Structure 1
Amino acid sequence: MGGPRQLRLQGRSGSAQLKTTTSATPEPAGQVEFIPTEVPITWLLQQVKLPGGLVGAAHVLSFKIDRDAEGCRTPRRNPQVEAALHAARELCAWSKRVCQFMNQRIFSKAERCAKVQAHTGRDGFLALIASTHQPSELFVPVLPLFEARAAEEEADAAGGDGDGGDGDGTLVSVTAAAAEAASTPVLRIGDINAMLAEQRRALEAKWATLADACPPADDGSLLSPVELKLSIAVKHLDDCCSQLSQGVDYIEAMLKKQLLDAVGRLVTPADFQRYMDFHGQRLFKPEYAPKPFCFAVRRPDHYPEGTLTIEHLSPDRSRGAIHTSGAIHTICRRVAEPVAPMSFALDAATRVSFTGERFVHAYVAHQFGDPPSPPPSPPPPNWRSPPAPCTGSGASVLMLGARARQFSSFMLLLGRMGPAGTFEQKHALILQNKDAVDIPLMLEALPSATEFRDAISSLSPEQQRFAKAYRAMQLEGSVFGILVIQLKPQLEALLKLPHDALTKEIALTQQLLDLFIQYQIPSDLLTYAGPASASPEEKLEAVRGHVAAIYKMVEAAKEGELHAARQQAMMEQPFHEYAESFGDTSAGSPPRRNARSIQRTASSASA
């Protein structure tokens, strides 16, 4: 590593005289500068500590998962293991770069070096290089092993009965608290030190076989045992890092399998939602228990006009489809009449006031945690990506469903609750005669109070005040609202008809809706304008007469438009009728032969 506090662990210089049969230089003239290959080892050094802070004592390797941390989910999904895997990924990438440098810049040149050829020969050199790429014979001590010990063996679980536990040459020692080691299935400390000793013995044996296979390090040759040791060490480091990733993934998969075997199925967000609904029915009183969001659109003492629901939609990855998990359960508060009127705007100059029953719903959405974020830099080829969380399927989506029954109609307005008793509608639609719509609800979660407070803690006082004011506006306008307007009572009030006058007038109601929606007829042309003391039948008959008159006028207008369109078509194609009489149905002038025949007939008649 560079810098003013650079510490050199090992180094040497060497040269080689390349032999060639051509007159051209095999390598470009000049000096080639190489970019330093660096890797941060801060995390690794942070795991090595002094026991009790005593200066001069042996260093101890200490790694522990904080199970009380908020981000701790499983032995694989926690901040400490994520940091370890990130450090291992960087070491793995560094070892790849070092191996590539050794192969391209040293081994490829050493093959033509006279000293190396004189010492090993070409075949011996190729075998020597191949041995550095096959470190599989080296023992990798990174293993996900557990040991099931009997009760009488737990007393000496923390002992160092393995070989090599106290050997010389170790930089750090592996220790554990006796209270913890005696009751866990983790391998004994002596066994762990024995595996580390076996790793060190295998490396030393491998290096010993290379000592006599190439020129010594002090003769200035380009290739020496130092380069071979480095190549084997970094390749072995790559294997250790890869096996670390595979080991923690194996433990995660094992725990997942145990959980699936215990539960009997793969738990999805929909299953967890049903689990919470089940316990909600048991814990809450009946009047406070969450209830399914499914309501009938109806008037008192009348048959329902339709239904309104909010359902879960969960993707089924195994079948590649989306299935409904049922209506969501909400905690509901009903506000009965009389209530203060609310209003919504039709345009900038028109507002509509409304009353009626109001329901306030509170819904708690449950979802599984997001998968771990990918590392910032691209991983090496043999790096295994972190496993996804045990969700089984994606998070559920909420779907608003509205259904209208036959010969029924109502209006649905969607928006949010505004300030000062207003409703800010964004969408509106009319459902009638067995219409059915499904509208996905795109929900957006706001930060919690704690998250918001932590996010603005480093801002200036002016920025904090602005952020708090903006959040207050978001919270005030974040309540999703659904407004249902039944059309028959509104038509009766608009046309000055008695209550329930249009309940059994199906044809008249449909004609009124067509005139208002399709033709935009002013309501003054259809409203009853007679005496208020008239009977309901007389009022209905008067409105029916107005509707018939308007329809008669509409039919006359349609006939006029058809006649005008027919005249326009005849003006554009004046010979179309003659063409049909002579067997040519194409538009335009009649055939040439038929035209001459018509001309002769006209000449004979004039003669």
Structure 2
Amino acid sequence: AEVLHITSTSSQVETTLRHTTPPFNESTVNTYNVNISWLLKHLDEAASTATFSIDRAHANCATPRQNADVTAALQFQASFSSFCSNVHAKLRHLCDVQSQYGVATAAKFDIAAVNQEGIFNPVVPLFTNDSAVAVVSDGQDATEQAVVATGGALTHHQSVALPQPVVNQLVQEQRRSLAAKCTQVAGLFTAAAGTVTSTTATAAKSVFGSSEATLMVVLLHLSQFAQFYRQGVDFIEHMIRQQLIAAVGKELTARDFAQYMTFHNRKVFKEAYQPKPFSYAVRRSPVHSPEGQIQIETAEVTPAEPIYTVSQHTENAP
């Protein structure tokens, strides 16, 4: 397999101790990996856009949440979010090490500044109301700067999905705010170090610099993507569920279906052949009191009730 090397760096920190015990035990740094095949399959290299759609004709497609495409997206984002969290925790550990054992200027950087405040996240469940809101007409400029393809959103069919120009405006704002946040964090780190740019000697003795600080910001933002996406599709699923309940008039449960079948069984079968609850007393003879009871209960309703079965009753043999 071909390996694409993006970036690498090496650094160290020197410290002086008053004892012979090393500050950390000898250990091997964990390697964090994540499979991004799902992401690469949804990137259109020729158009420089990301594409995603749900196969509504698939037999397993039930709702915008319950389908194979969204399930695969959630699985990828869960693994990618875990990867980001692991790398973020490692970088935070390096920051703590440098603050405790590094040069004095490094300890002045406030790690609390590494957050997601001010970064716009475009992953939100939004719908359009064409009867009340005018559709953005600047389609040509938006298409030239498109980073997300919405699968024909520029056509004139009825749809509540946001049109492609609006989607790309949201993504452009996300990119702008993320770049501004990274610049801000890098500036705070540089100011804490007391120089505009780090010198070679200082960088060689630093395990946590402005690059690591901005990377932590990006990792936090990427982790939030998975959270917002899951919450978004769950919200849409909840909205559809509430609309269905409002249309039916109540939320149907297993008990409702059982009562429905019991009612119609009384109309279809004669009394002698109607299904009856599987609950019978156990006794030694008809003249003795019951010793106990035997029944088959269903766990689908609360409290548990005996299931209805077709049975045949015969008198005791002579």
TM bin (shorter chain): 0.7 to 0.9
Question: Whole-Å Cα distance in 1 between the matches of residues 118 and 61 of structure 2?
Answer: 37
User: 1:147 aligns to what?
Assistant: 128
* Counterpart residue number, 2:214: 229
- Of residues 278, 294, 297, the one that matches 1:400 is 278
- Distance change >3 Å, CA 181–CA 87, structure 1 → 2: farther
- Which residue of structure 1 aligns with residue 88 of structure 2? 99
Kindly provide the amino acid, as one letter, of the partner of residue 84 in structure 1: A
Q: Distance in 1 between matches of 2:81 and 2:96?
A: 23
Aligned partners of 2:154 and 2:164 also within 8 Å:
no
* 2:193 maps to 1:208: no
Q: How many residue pairs get matched?
A: 298
Q: Which residue of 2 aligns with 1:485?
A: 314
* Unpaired segments ≥5 residues, structure 2: 191-196, 300-308
Cα distance change of structure 1 residues 182 and 275 upon mapping to structure 2, 3 Å threshold = farther
The Cα offsets for residues 118-171 of structure 1, whole Å up to 9 and x where unpaired, read as 3x5x4x31x2x1111x213211111011111128946x6793676xx644xx8x
Residue 315 of structure 1 is matched in structure 2 by: none
Q: Residue 310 of structure 1 corresponds to which residue in structure 2?
A: 275
Q: Distance in 2 between matches of 1:159 and 1:35?
A: 47
Q: Which has the higher contact order (CA 8 A, sep 6+)?
A: 2
Sort the Cα spacing of 1:274 and 1:232 in 2 relative to 1 into closer, same or farther, 3 A.
Answer: same
* Bigger Rg over Cα: 1
Structure 2 counterpart SS, 1:61 = strand
- Quote the residue 1:138 is aligned against: 119
Q: What is the 5 A alignment of 1:416-427?
A: none
From 255, 268, 272, give the equivalent of 1:291: 268
Deviations 1:189-230 (A, max 9, x none): 111111111111111111112334236496423222221121
| One-letter amino acid matched to 1:40 | N
Give 1:23's aligned residue: 19
Residue number among 37, 40, 49 corresponding to 1:45 in the alignment: 40
Tell me the distance in 2 between the aligned counterparts of 1:153 and 1:259: 29
Identical pairs, percent = 24
CA distance in 2, matches of 1:292, 1:40: 59
* 1:211-360 pair list within 5 angstroms: 211-212=186-187, 213-214=189-190, 216=198, 219-220=203-204, 221-272=206-257, 291-292=268-269, 294-295=271-272, 310-311=275-276
CA gap 1:484/1:230 in 2 versus in 1, 3 angstroms: same
Deviations 1:446-479 (A, max 9, x none): xxxxxxxxxxxxxxxxxxxxxxxxxxxxxxxxxx
Can you give the 5+ residue segments of structure 1 that lack an aligned partner in the other structure?
51-56, 282-288, 297-308, 312-398, 404-426, 444-479, 492-607
Q: Which residues in structure 2 correspond to 1:167-206 (within 5 Å)?
A: 167=145, 172-178=147-153, 182-206=157-181
Partner-residue secondary structure (3-state), 1:295:
helix
Q: Structure 1 residue 7 and structure 2 residue 4: aligned?
A: yes
Kept after mapping to 2: 8 A contact 1:158/1:188: no
Q: Is the 8 A contact 2:52 2:150 kept in 1?
A: no
Alignment deviations for residues 75-107 of structure 1 (CA, whole Å, 9 cap, x no partner): 212222111111111112112211211122x10
Q: Distance in 2 between matches of 1:224 and 1:84?
A: 33
Range that drifts further, 204-213 or 224-233: 204-213
d(CA) in 2 for partners of 1:112, 1:139 = 33
Structure 1 residues 293 and 82 mapped into 2: Cα distance closer, same or farther (>3 Å)?
Answer: farther
The answer to whether the 8 Å contact 1:71/1:78 transfers is yes
User: Contact conserved, 1:110 with 1:222, CA < 8 A, in 2?
Assistant: yes
1:60 aligns with 2:49: yes
Q: Return the alpha-carbon distance in structure 1 between the equivalents of residues 162 and 140 of structure 2.
A: 11
Identify the match of residue 108 of structure 1 among 83, 96, 103: 96
TM-score, normalising length: structure 2: 0.78
Amino acid corresponding to residue 7 of structure 2 in structure 1: Q
Paired residue secondary structure (1:211): helix
Q: CA offset at residue 267 of structure 1?
A: 0.9
Tell me how far 1:25 sits from its aligned partner. Answer: 4.7
Q: How far did 1:5 drift?
A: 2.6
Q: What amino acid is aligned across from residue 35 of structure 2 in structure 1?
A: P
Task: Note if 1:34 corresponds to 2:29.
Answer: yes
Does the aligned pair in 1 maintain the 2:148–2:164 contact within 8 Å?
no
Q: 1:247 to 1:430 in 2, by over 3 A?
A: farther
Match of 2:304 in 1: none
Measure the CA separation in 2 of the matches of 1:439 and 1:292.
23
- Given that 1:58 and 1:173 are in contact with CA atoms closer than 8 Å, whether structure 2 keeps it comes out as no
SS at match of 1:485: coil
Cα distance in 1 between the residues matched to 2:28 and 2:82: 21
**For the Cα contact (< 8 Å) 1:139–1:202, is it kept in 2?**
yes
1:260 CA drift (Å): 1.5
Equivalent residues of 2:64, 2:237 under 8 A apart: yes
Partner SS, residue 314 of structure 2:
strand
**Matched residue SS, 1:34:** coil
RMSD over aligned Cα, in angstroms? Answer: 3.7
SS of 1:484's partner is coil
Which residue is 2:72 aligned to? 83
Q: Deviation string for 1:475-502 (max 9, x for gaps)?
A: xxxxx98553223xx43xxxxxxxxxxx
Q: Which amino acid aligns with 2:131?
A: A
Between Structure 1 and Structure 2, the one with more strand by share is: 1
Partner residue in 2 for 1:460: none
Report if the CA contact (8 A) 1:310-1:401 is conserved.
no
Q: Using the alignment, how far apart are the partners of 1:145 and 1:199 within structure 2?
A: 16
Q: 1:440 aligns with which of 291, 296, 300?
A: 296
